[in-house]
With several copies, the nearest count.
Chain A
Amino acid sequence: MQIIVNSKPIEVAVNCTISALVEQLNLDIKRIAIEYNREILSPEQFHTTIMNDNDCIEIVNFVGGG
């Protein structure tokens, strides 16, 4: 199925969890924050949140800024 991550379409497995997505994208779970359909998830929710087709995911991390 297809979801939208940071405005771009990505193919993931059906019933994919947020955790699985993070792993698939090769991200460090301790350095990111995630919005799932505009709801902010706590890290504990990553395992339990199963995505559906066309879900919208925002993944952010810290960068240099003033």
Chain B
Amino acid sequence: MDELIIAGRSFRSRLMVGTGKFSSNAQMAATIAASGGEIVTVALRRVNVGDQQDDLLNHIDRSKYLLLPNTSGARDAEEAVRLARLARAAGCDPWIKLEVTPDPYYLLPDPIETLKAAEILVKEGFIVLPYINADPVLAKHLQEVGVATVMPLGAPIGTNKGLRTRDNIAIIIEQAIVPVVVDAGLGAPSHAAEAMELGADAVMVNTAMAVAGNTEMMAAAFGKAVEAGRMAYLAGLGKEQKQAVASSPLTGFLRDEK
């Protein structure tokens, strides 16, 4: 069977799902269920003392989903490492989606600090899934220090622009020895399918589901699109042709052939 394997663990779904921006925990839970995803990301934040909310984790069945905490908010390696350790202390498996984003406007990842944090976290036994710009040489460095996947962005987070970094991602995939997960910017199922057709091992989606008119239907749409893209990759896509090629026969017309 065609499974996604990350750090020795198998997953049937190739769609990772974020839990941010939903209007309620119930909506979040219904959406991740509809997506078919098995890996769900969460963020770590200070508890709101005195404002007891419904805890997110009450809505995520951890026997079904791998909880993947991220280090969102970290502006450098030190902050990211601190968040990763806290996530582990809070009872998570030592999986961490490593995000280091010093820039508050475009939230783009820092290649230098990400590599630095990855090296530390791998040594501490974490399964590290770093979020990166689509830089093939950085992806290699990260693989050399032992990350479990690389997660290049398709476009800046939340922009819905799709696979704007397509050429660089194709090179990352070609050279990768770990799964490549396209993260950020995928705004429509067709974008997710395109990434999978290109040979990505998985994709990660949050915003496009959370802002949809119908979040569950959109999640199911992404689920199907990821499967479609994966199957097309396995089935072998045809090449682009410059000139038309008829699909109906070019002989046997109702006229004398020349």
Contact = CB atoms under 8 A, between A and B. Distances in A.
Contacts of B179: none
Contact of B42 (A10, A35, A65): A65
Contacts of B20: 63-66
A48 B82 CA distance: 22
Contacts of A43: 89
Contacts, number: 115
Interface string A28-66: 101111110000111100000000000000111111111
Interface in B40-94: 41-47, 49-50, 52, 55-57, 67, 69-70, 72, 82, 85-87, 89-91
Interface residues of B, number: 43
B249 A66 contact: no
Identify whether the interface residues of A are mostly helix, strand, loop, or mixed. strand
Interface string B89-120: 11100000000000000000000000000000
A65 B18 contact: yes
B87 A61 contact: no
Contact of A33 (B57, B67, B86, B247): B86
B90 A41 contact: no
B149 interface: no
Nearest to B59: A64
B254 interface: yes
B248 interface: yes
Contacts of B70: 65-66
B49 A62 contact: no
B247 A62 contact: no
A60 B45 contact: yes
Interface of A: 5-8, 10, 25-28, 30-35, 40-43, 58-66
Closest 10 CB pairs between A and B? A65-B43, A66-B247, A66-B18, A66-B206, A65-B248, A33-B90, A64-B19, A33-B89, A64-B20, A33-B86
